[in-house]
Amino acid sequence: MRKLEAPHVPAAVRILGTMGGPGVFDAFDIQFAALMKRLAPGLTDDALWVMALAARAPRLGSVCLRLDDSPETSARPPEEWQALLFPTGLVATPSEAHRVPLRPLVLDHNRLYLHRYWVHETRVADELATRAASRGVTDGVDELLGELFEPEHHEQRAAARRALTDGLSVIAGGPGTGKTHTVARILVAALRRAQEEGHDLDVALVAPTGKAASRMGEAVRSAVVQLQESGVVDRPLAERLAALEPSTIHRLLGSRRGVHVHHDRRNPLNVDLVVVDETSMVALPLMARLLDALPAEADLVLVGDPFQLTSIEAGTVMDDIVGPAGRATAARLLESDDRWEGPLRDRVTVLTATHRFADDSGIFRLAEAVRAGDAGAALAVLENPSDDLVWIEPGDETATGLIDAELLAAARLMVEAARAGEAAEAIEAASSVKVLAATRMGPGGVREWSERIKEMVKPDVARSGLQPQWFAGRPVLVTGNDPGNRVFNGDVGVTVATPDGGLAVAFPEADGECLVGTSRLADVEDWYAMTIHKSQGSEFDHVVVSLPRVDSRVLTQELLYTAITRARRRLTVVASREVLEKAIEHRAPRASGLGERLWGSEQRA
């Protein structure tokens, strides 16, 4: 972070240093403010200040600066801000936003946007509303779904029906609620109906990251195998489904250097059905580009968990789209609650029945309490250990010693299997228990856990003199996209011995493992532990959640919920009571107007 006192700060905006202090603004914010000052030399200090805050907002994950809800601006009535900003000639009203010459900012209902983010948000809202109004053919759908869904899976069946009969459908739910189970049956039904009508169906399965796309493919193929074994799907259809290769949204759009795309509204995609998984990780600009490139007649299915961590870039797209349905106690709430109006009112299905955990599961009850922001209920769950949940206070050496012993045992099994070239067994051992930390550095962070595990397993590791960083049993996390080797940021694997005496990293795939020579991999790091952010889309039998010893701004309700829901069978939480309470009560502060555009002002209730 560059400080305001640095010489590169233009003299015209150095007043920002006295108004906010070092570290409040970065280089972009400062240069944007300097440009505004050049365009309107008469700008007041307050107007300059609020424009710099609006420029900063996307960097902090917000789409806009909410003047009535921001700590820096809420003390002044919105009417005063309007009177201060509109006369500058740099801020447009929504009705003026498309007029040439374009103005760099837009003030819309007390939300101040950089112009491009206002365009992204309004386009997404308009496109979703238009697609939600589209209706398809319903003939034969119920009979088809009756073959694919068990009677007790009524929520999943309702979600599939919407996907098959509406231009837009949204499937929301936590882990174990059957999202992939539902998507696989939607694909079966859509392809079977297309066959019966005598035409092919162009389907695109996408996710925001390569890792998420890979997981999506594995999950769908696994579900298809089960459908084929049960006799619901014949072999030709199963092969057709298995041939669907999920990709990233960027790759589908033909993104070049992350900015320019091959497909847009002038050159739309050639698709009939698009399914987007892990939509909670999709940033607003990326969603806008996808909707721009989607043909009007194509169907769109958005899938994800609105309570998980949001995208790294600006926006809370999935949370905004799901809206009040996400806070419903049952998916049918929207059908009986007249407070909620909007184009998506009957397009969202929230899957609430979990099939992974029993109702008395400690993991399930803790996740629900954290999702609700109820620190008291969460601590009550933690204070009563169950078969699948344990809470350890930092400094409890006895309990921590038991965790260390389990981590060491798993690491030794991984090394033993890797030396024998048994890739599947090595990956299974590496995934059996995993530390997920909120931070990389500091007490309780990834670095501390990783170094401790490496030191414990050191006697079992045989390092090469030529490449000491590579050895059989080294767990690896990919930190950059590498399409040439078909590995992507967030992919994980284990280094194993090869028959020729060399080493390769085994990455899990749906039908086995992919081996990549160690000399071909550049952007990797040890995978003894990982950040919670990097764990999105992954699951582990036993998850050890490690929070910092003191409160941190990264600790949020969404972060903790995401960590908890990575556990399949067991969860250990290593954190103090104070830190847990603060994390559960702290929601990620992101400002957006998309939810209000789709659901009305009650969205913020």
User: Average pLDDT, stretch 444-451?
Assistant: 92
Angle at 566 between CA 562 and CA 570, to 5 degrees: 125
pLDDT given for residue 470 in this prediction = 87
DSSP 125-174: HHHHHHHHT-B---TTHHHHHHHHS-TT-HHHHHHHHHHHHBSEEEEEE-
**Of 308 and 437, the one with more pLDDT:** 437
Task: Considering only residues 341 and 455, tell me which one the structure prediction assigns the higher pLDDT.
Answer: 455
Q: Which residues contact 53 (CB under 8 A, 6 or more apart)?
A: 65, 70, 72, 73, 112
Q: pLDDT at position 437, please?
A: 93
What's the per-residue H, E or C state across 437-489?
ECCCCCCCCHHHHHHHHHHHHHHHCCCCCCCCCCCCCCEEEECCCEHHHCECC
> What phi and psi values does residue 401 have, to the nearest 5 degrees?
-60, -35
Q: Which of 1, 214, 39 is nearest to 12 (CA)?
A: 39
Decide if pLDDT at 416 tops 80.
Answer: yes
pLDDT tens track for 107-116? 998 999 999 9
DSSP β-bridge partners for residue 113: 106
What confidence category does residue 349 fall into, taking pLDDT thresholds of 50, 70 and 90?
A: confident
DSSP SS3 for 215: helix
Report the mean per-residue pLDDT for the chain: 84
Dist CA 94 CA 454 (whole Å): 57
Between 488 and 404, residue with greater pLDDT? 404
Predicted confidence at residue 228, as pLDDT, reads: 81
Main-chain dihedrals φ then ψ at residue 411, nearest 5 degrees: -65, -40
Q: pLDDT value at position 466?
A: 52
The DSSP H or E segment spanning 375 is helix 375-382
pLDDT in tens, 212-243: 887 788 888 888 888 788 777 788 887 888 88
**Average pLDDT for residues 72-77, to the nearest whole number?**
83
What pTM, to 2 d.p., does this model score?
Answer: 0.84
What confidence score (pLDDT) does residue 128 get?
93
Distance CA 442, CA 496 (A): 31
Better pLDDT: 552 or 295: 295
- The alpha carbon of 68 is separated from its chain's Cα centroid by a whole number of angstroms, namely 28
Kindly report the backbone phi and psi dihedral angles of residue 359, in degrees, each rounded to the nearest multiple of 5, phi listed first: -60, -25
**pLDDT range class, residue 361, cuts 50, 70, 90:** confident
What pLDDT, on a 0 to 100 scale, did the predictor assign at position 164?
85
- Using pLDDT thresholds of 50, 70 and 90, give the confidence band for residue 2: very low
Q: What angle do CA 414, 418, 420 make, to 5 degrees?
A: 125
Q: Where are the beta strands (DSSP E) in 237-356?
A: 247-248, 255-256, 260-261, 273-276, 299-304, 348-351
Distance from C-alpha of 254 to C-alpha of 242, rounded to nearest angstrom: 23
Closest CA to 277 of 252, 295, 296: 252
Query: What is the per-residue pLDDT for 336?
Result: 44
pLDDT in tens, 139-164: 778 888 877 787 778 888 888 888 88
H or E element at residue 584 = helix 577-585
Buried-exposed string 502-513: b where 16+ CB fall within 10 A, e elsewhere: ebbbbbbeeeeb
List CB contacts of 273: < 8 A, sequence separation 6 or more.
190, 201, 202, 203, 204, 298, 299, 300, 301
Give the residue among 26, 24, 309, 299 at the shortest CA–CA distance from 183.
Answer: 299
Contact between 293 and 268 under an 8 Å Cβ cutoff? The reply is: yes
Decide if pLDDT at 511 tops 80.
Answer: no
CB 151 within 8 A of CB 158: no
What is the pLDDT, as a whole number, of residue 605?
40
Q: What is the mean pLDDT of residues 353-370?
A: 82
| Cis amide leading into 101 (omega within 30) | yes
Which pLDDT band, with edges at 50, 70 and 90, does 333 fall under? very low
Q: Are 350 and 322 in contact (CB under 8 A)?
A: yes
118 near 106, Cβ under 8 Å? yes
Q: Which of 136-145, 333-342, 537-546, 567-576 has the lowest mean pLDDT?
A: 333-342
Residue 603 has pLDDT above 80, yes or no: no
pLDDT over 90 (residue 288): yes
Of 314, 418, 373, 355, residue with least CA distance to 179: 355
Higher pLDDT, 545 or 149: 545
Q: What pLDDT, on a 0 to 100 scale, did the predictor assign at position 1?
A: 40
Residue 41 has pLDDT above 80, yes or no: yes
Q: How many other C-beta atoms are found inside a 10 Å radius of the C-beta of residue 290?
A: 25
**pLDDT at residue 348 greater than cutoff 50:** yes
Instruction: Quote the CA–CA distance of 481 and 487 in Å, as a whole number.
Output: 6
Least confident piece of the model among 6-20, 525-539, 544-558:
6-20
